[in-house]
Amino acid sequence: MKELDFDRDIVPLRDRMFRYAQSLLLCAAEAEDVVHDLLERFWRERERLCVRSDVGSFVMTAVRNRCYDSLRRREADRRRGEAAACRTDRFAAEDAERWEARELVRRAMACLPERQRETLHLKDIEGVPTCEIARMLGCDEAQVRVILSRARHGLREALKKWMDDERTTKTD
């Protein structure tokens, strides 16, 4: 892969890589580190990279694998009692209600099982086609649709519960 190919095929995926990493890690600082490390690695090894028609799947699979490695390291650190500190991000939102709604959805997604959260993020936030998600996860498209259905149901239930709790708190 030449420099021009790298700039054309991989660099434009940076924001998508970050959002995906952040959805898996639930930490913007770690997501930035993962994306930076991968872009650096891709750059160093660009001569060995083959130009693929599915470069997006390749890159997003690399992000997923690197995030899982990071999660395993985080869990090992936690077990050793060395809780890894993750700085909390502050969003400067213009509209407080929209920020609260976004935050509520983010928290609800964080409650989903990892595979459901990952699949939901890829499909509904990134707009990745079902067939590509199936390739990335190593399953068939029907299984991806089942995972999506369960994730959306879980998300609806969590949001409904939190909205009901909020209403009862305000009326008390």
Higher pLDDT, 131 or 171: 131
Higher pLDDT, 53 or 4: 4
* The architecture CATH gives domain 1-89: Orthogonal Bundle (1.10)
What are the tens digits of pLDDT across the range 22-38? 988 888 899 999 999 99
Higher pLDDT, 170 or 13: 13
* Residue 172: pLDDT over 80: no
User: Where does the chain hold its CATH 1.10.1740 domain(s)?
Assistant: 1-89
Contact between residue 72 and residue 24 where contact means Cβ atoms under 8 Å apart: no
Share of the chain above pLDDT 70, in %: 83
User: Where does the chain hold its CATH 1.10.10.10 domain(s)?
Assistant: 92-172
Tell the burial category of 156 from Cβ atoms under 10 Å away from its Cβ (0-12, 13-18, 19+).
exposed
pTM equals 0.57
Least confident window among 104-113, 119-128, 146-155 = 104-113
DSSP the chain: --HHHHHHHTGGGHHHHHHHHHHHHS-HHHHHHHHHHHHHHHHHTTTTPPP-TTHHHHHHHHHHHHHHHHHHHHHHHHHTT-PPP-PPP----S-HHHHHHHHHHHHHHHHS-HHHHHHHIIIIIS---HHHHHHHHTS-HHHHHHHHHHHHHHHHHHHHHHHHHHHHHHH-
Note the CATH number of domain 92-172. 1.10.10.10
CA angle 41, 68, 33 (to 5 degrees): 45
Average of per-residue pLDDT values in the chain = 82
Higher pLDDT, 36 or 104: 36
* Residue 64: pLDDT over 80: yes
Give the pLDDT of residue 119.
93
Query: What's the rounded mean pLDDT across residues 80-95?
Result: 46
Give the pLDDT of residue 81.
65
90 band by pLDDT with thresholds 50, 70 and 90? very low
